[in-house]
Amino acid sequence: MKSRFTRIKEKIVDISVSDKQSIRDVLRKIDKGALGVALLMDSKTGIFKGLVTDGDVRRALIKGMDLDSPVSDIERPKTITASVTASSEEISRLFGEAVRVIPLLDGGRRVTDLAFFDTRVYLPVSEPNLGEKELKYVSECVLTGWVSSAGKYVTQFEQMFAEFCGTRYGISSSSGTTALHLALLSLGIGPGDEVIVPSFTFISTANAVVFTGATPVFVDSDIQTWNISAHEIEKAVTVRTKAIIPVHIYGHPADMAPILDIADRYNLAVVEDAAEAHGALYKGKKTGSLGDMGIFSFYGNKTITTGEGGMLVTDNKELADKARILRDHGMDPENRYHHSVLGYNYRMTNIQAALGVAQMERIDQIVQQKCTNAVFYNDALGEIPGITLPPQAEWAKNIYWLYSILIDEKSFGMSAGRLAAMLKIKSIETRPLFLPVHQQPIYDTKQHLPVCEYLSSSGLSLPSSVNIDINEIGRIAWEIKNIRKKN
Ligand SMILES: Cc1ncc(COP(=O)(O)O)c(C=O)c1O
């Protein structure tokens, strides 16, 4: 567990008072340290006796003590301390709503360091989790000169990712969008064809269809999973329909069995858009491995990242071969610089793949941490009236790419937009849920798709990076409760 508390040893002298000093002295120290607390020490031994907070002083003055009264007369609750040898994880667990400063003591109970949890720290919705390995592998690319798409990391990343998904082939690409485009092109989709997509998705699901010359057909979501509704898909099938792109939105799998059944009955291809669902499971199988092809994104806000990047996975050798050729200018793999089809340069670089390999070495840990953080969130937000927690079907493993909730304006007392604005003031970033694609200015189909319109207007994604911990989730939940109460 990564922690965001800071050690501020240098503040110890600024905020220390002896038990012989007065309330006036304590107030001066509290003022100087700007932490809202002073450290009370035994005047003879220097042993730590406890924290005095500005609240303790205020209550003492209200009770009738004056500024010259000795500080030792102030009533104080028991102070939470930790050993200076405690791990960051142990210290992190001690912070709470009212505990922001923890004195770290040596064996002789002297304060040797201070742990400070700064509630003003900005919490972004997403943030990559990069470490030493990423730096090492990328440096190696730079130092050896293997910076373009030739290089060992590209193949290694493709193999690792395909294995992770349980598929035979992995074809890396420059983005999730280009992976989608390649998938549709490999399936032969083009002008005159229709492809069924959810309206509740990121724009590129639809754009990739348009890139091929085909037409995206927008379908509403299922309120249980927020994903494309199989019932609505069946109503949208026409003689022109060639494929369905179910999207596993925010990391929760779409209900694939009825979708695959429709695809089977109408002879349609299925491309899973798993851009947001690395490691999510549908009935025990990895998302991306259930349709004819699956695609992933490694943009910087995704569960694992290569900066920009994408991957196409499939068990079908013919489709994999086609995608590789299209990705590389349509070049004949047996005959260099001979081009028999119109291709693209959609390749991933060795530098991107180096990041990807480092991220793959701990993808299970990253996914696990996202799920653990979702449990913390569910515990902290579950009882608040007006909040609907993210979907979790019993047949699915949601990986909570973005931990997203719905706000019922009536029972919560304000709209999702208003809550977002108030959290922003508290340095907590949120993100509205996707504006349905059928309502986007470039598509604007004038359809009325009630479920996805409702999701979009009432949903909010909260900070979801694996870099946040239980204390920060506690802080976010506390602010949400407070905002609701004060409203
Ligand atoms: C559902 C969905 N599909 C496709 C993409 C496209 O991926 P990229 O941004 O890597 O092109 C994204 C994300 O960004 C996405 O969220």
**Residues 157-173, mean pLDDT to the nearest whole number:** 98
Q: Check pocket membership of 310 for ligand 1, CB cut-off 6 A.
A: yes
Residue 1 has pLDDT above 50, yes or no: no
What are 431-443's pLDDT values in tens digits?
A: 999 999 999 999 9
Q: Check pocket membership of 198 for ligand 1, CB cut-off 6 A.
A: no
Residue 292 has pLDDT above 70, yes or no: yes
For residue 120, the model assigns a pLDDT of 67
Candidate from 209, 221, 276 with most ligand 1 atoms within 8 A of CB, to mutate = 276
- 296: β partners: 311
Q: Which residue from 279, 267, 447 is spatially nearest to 363, judged by alpha carbons?
A: 279
Q: Phi/psi zone of residue 178: left (φ > 0), alpha (ψ -120 to 50 degrees), beta?
A: alpha
Q: Which residue from 326, 267, 306, 317 is spatially nearest to 153, judged by alpha carbons?
A: 306
Q: CA-to-CA distance for 172 and 298, rounded, in angstroms?
A: 10
Cβ(388)–Cβ(406) under 8 Å? Answer: yes
Q: Check pocket membership of 126 for ligand 1, CB cut-off 6 A.
A: no
What are 240-260's pLDDT values in tens digits?
A: 999 999 999 999 999 999 999
**Residues 141-168, mean pLDDT to the nearest whole number:** 97
Residue 456 has pLDDT above 70, yes or no: yes
**Residues 447-474, mean pLDDT to the nearest whole number:** 95
Can you give 130-185 as a three-state secondary structure string?
Answer: CCHHHHHHHHHHHHHCCCCCCCHHHHHHHHHHHHHHCCCEEEEECCHHHHHHHHHH
Helix, coil or strand: residue 331: strand
Tell which atom from ligand 1 comes closest to the C-alpha of 247: 1
248 CA → ligand 1 middle, Å: 11
Closest residue by CA, ligand 1 atom 10: 176
Residue 2 has pLDDT above 60, yes or no: no
Q: Check pocket membership of 247 for ligand 1, CB cut-off 6 A.
A: yes
302 in catalytic set: yes
Candidate from 125, 126, 177, 399 with most ligand 1 atoms within 8 A of CB, to mutate = 177
For residue 4, the model assigns a pLDDT of 65
394 CA → ligand 1 middle, Å: 26
Q: Check pocket membership of 276 for ligand 1, CB cut-off 6 A.
A: yes
434 CA → ligand 1 middle, Å: 12
N-term to C-term CA, the chain: 34
**Residues 302-325, mean pLDDT to the nearest whole number:** 98
**Residues 145-172, mean pLDDT to the nearest whole number:** 97
**Alpha-carbon distance values, 105 to 5, 20, 44 (Å):** 17, 21, 17
What are 352-386's pLDDT values in tens digits?
A: 999 999 999 999 999 999 999 999 999 999 999 99
What are 90-107's pLDDT values in tens digits?
A: 887 788 767 889 999 999
Mean pLDDT estimate for the chain: 95
Q: Check pocket membership of 305 for ligand 1, CB cut-off 6 A.
A: no
Taking the mean position of all CA atoms in its chain, how far away is CA 423? 17
Q: Which residue from 359, 369, 344, 362 is spatially nearest to 306, judged by alpha carbons?
A: 359
**Residues 170-189, mean pLDDT to the nearest whole number:** 98
Residue 486 has pLDDT above 80, yes or no: no
Residue 327 has pLDDT above 50, yes or no: yes
Q: Please, which pLDDT band fits residue 75 given cuts at 50, 70 and 90?
A: very high
In sequence order, what are the residues at sequence separation of 6 or more whose Cβ sits closer than 8 angstroms to the Cβ of residue 405?
381, 387, 388, 389, 390, 459, 460, 462
The pLDDT > 90 percentage for the chain reads 90
CA dihedral 354, 358, 363, 364 (to 10 degrees): 140
174 CA → ligand 1 middle, Å: 11
408 CA → ligand 1 middle, Å: 28
Q: Please, which pLDDT band fits residue 416 given cuts at 50, 70 and 90?
A: very high
